[in-house]
Amino acid sequence: MPTFDYSEFPTLRTERLVLRELRGSDAEDLFAVRSDPYVQRYNSVPHTDVSESAEMIERLTELFAKHEWIHWGVALRENDKLIGLYSLGWNEGHRRAEIGYDLNRAYWGKRLASEALGAMLAFAFDVLEVNRLEAQTIADNHESTRLLRKFGFQLEGVRRGYSLEEDGEFHGGAIYGLLRSEYEGGQA
Ligand SMILES: CC(C)(COP(=O)(O)OP(=O)(O)OC[C@H]1O[C@@H](n2cnc3c(N)ncnc32)[C@H](O)[C@@H]1OP(=O)(O)O)[C@@H](O)C(=O)NCCC(=O)NCCS
């Protein structure tokens, strides 16, 4: 049986990052991520005021308290600045989880997203003992699909014409999955 029971927030550490509980004081840094129209182009409407980011932190913190989702603030180890938000929704009964991830655009292309995802995958497979991880992403969100493929996620299907995005176009919704056997097979 998995050892995780939500009694304590699962802080994860990597070489350059700490994935930790969100705090009210992260609101400005979260706003920098969530107000960027390019980061948000396949996600919810960009925040226009920091109060929306502050409310979001409260909402996400409650989801952890209700044992519904884990949302990690991705912060730089050197100064604790929040540069992203990673999430995992765990279905214990079916031993699967869904993940989400985004990073402040100033930190793209530095393999920080990969570093954070590696830590989240290890937590999911080793601590939660999931059999399957799933990510839903817009099919032409190339930065996102590149990250998933790098970690061995397989494209399982595309829901055609799935969502109407900011560009006024309908986009396909892709489902990517990674099974425990594939994850373990890909480990060094
Ligand atoms: C998805 C996201 C987190 C990826 O971040 P990232 O900074 O590109 O990730 P990384 O730096 O770890 O790079 C991942 C891979 O892409 C490659 N890559 C990154 N930028 C690249 C570029 N400009 N050109 C070519 N390859 C690039 C990296 O080299 C790496 O592969 P490698 O280690 O095999 O070389 C980021 O684009 C993001 O926040 N997007 C907006 C939010 C979003 O859409 N989230 C998903 C919603 S479901």
CA distance 5 to 8: 8
Q: How far is the CA of 176 from the centre of ligand 1 (A)?
A: 16
Domains of the chain (ranges plus CATH)?
A: 12-186 (3.40.630.30)
Q: What is the pLDDT along the chain (188 residues), one digit of tens a residue?
A: 788 999 999 999 999 999 999 999 999 999 999 999 999 999 989 999 999 999 999 999 999 999 999 999 999 999 999 999 999 999 999 999 999 999 999 999 999 999 999 999 999 999 999 999 999 999 999 999 999 999 999 999 999 999 999 889 999 999 999 999 999 998 65
Whole-number pLDDT of residue 2 = 86
Token look-up 């969502």 returns 163
What DSSP line would sit under the chain, residue for residue?
-----SSS---EE-SSEEEE---GGGHHHHHHHHT-TTTTTTSSPPPSSHHHHHHHHHHHHHHHHTTS-EEEEEEETTT--EEEEEEEEEETTTTEEEEEEEE-GGGTTSSHHHHHHHHHHHIIIIIS--SEEEEEEETT-HHHHHHHHHTTPEEEEEEEEEEE-TTS-EEEEEEEEEEHHHHHHH--
- Ligand 1: centre distance to CA 137 (Å): 13
Provide residues with CB under 6 Å of ligand 1.
Answer: 39, 42, 100-103, 108-111, 113-114, 137, 141, 143-144, 146-147, 150
pLDDT of residue 184: 95
Q: What pLDDT score was predicted for residue 186?
A: 82
Q: What is the pLDDT of residue 78?
A: 98
CB of 84 within 8 A of CB of 107?
A: yes
Unique residue bearing structure tokens 């995780």:
4
Whose CA is closest to atom 34 on ligand 1?
150
Å from CA of 143 to ligand 1 middle: 5
Nearest to residue 3, comparing CAs of 162, 128, 183, 121? 128
pLDDT given for residue 150 in this prediction: 98
Q: Which residues contact 82 (CB under 8 A, 6 or more apart)?
A: 22, 26, 29, 30, 33, 73, 74, 75
Q: What's the pLDDT score for residue 61? A: 98
